[in-house]
Amino acid sequence: MRSIRNLLSLMNFMISHIFREGNVCADWLANKGSHLVGYEEIDISNLDLSFRGMLLVDKASLPYIRHG
């Protein structure tokens, strides 16, 4: 932690927290990655249907409403 703080003291930065609803695409990818055993390349032509929908909502700058 000390090394990280020393490195950060040399940079101009801002840290903020964004709830998972604020970036559902990153949340989906992180969740998928946490369950992977090995390396998996994501092919844009063969995206999971739910992830494709999240990308479209994000691209349209619409809020994502989480259900369930």
Residue 30 forms part of a structural domain: yes
Residue 56 forms part of a structural domain: yes
Residue 6 forms part of a structural domain: no
pLDDT tens readout for residues 20-33: 888 899 999 999 99
Query: From CA 21, how far away is CA 27, in angstroms rounded?
Result: 8
Residue 8 forms part of a structural domain: no
Q: How many structural domains does the chain have?
A: 1
pLDDT tens readout for residues 5-56: 899 899 998 888 888 888 899 999 999 999 989 988 888 888 899 899 999 9
Query: From CA 35, how far away is CA 12, in angstroms rounded?
Result: 34
> Residue 54's domain spans which residues?
16-68
Establish how many alpha carbons lie within 13 A of residue 37's alpha carbon, considering only the half-sphere containing its beta carbon.
Answer: 0
Residue carrying structure tokens 């409403």: 65
The answer to whether the CB of 64 falls within 8 A of the CB of 58 is yes
Output the CA–CA distances (angstroms, integers) from residue 31 to 2, 5, 16, 27, 51, in the order listed.
29, 27, 20, 6, 12
Residue 31 forms part of a structural domain: yes
Residue 1 forms part of a structural domain: no
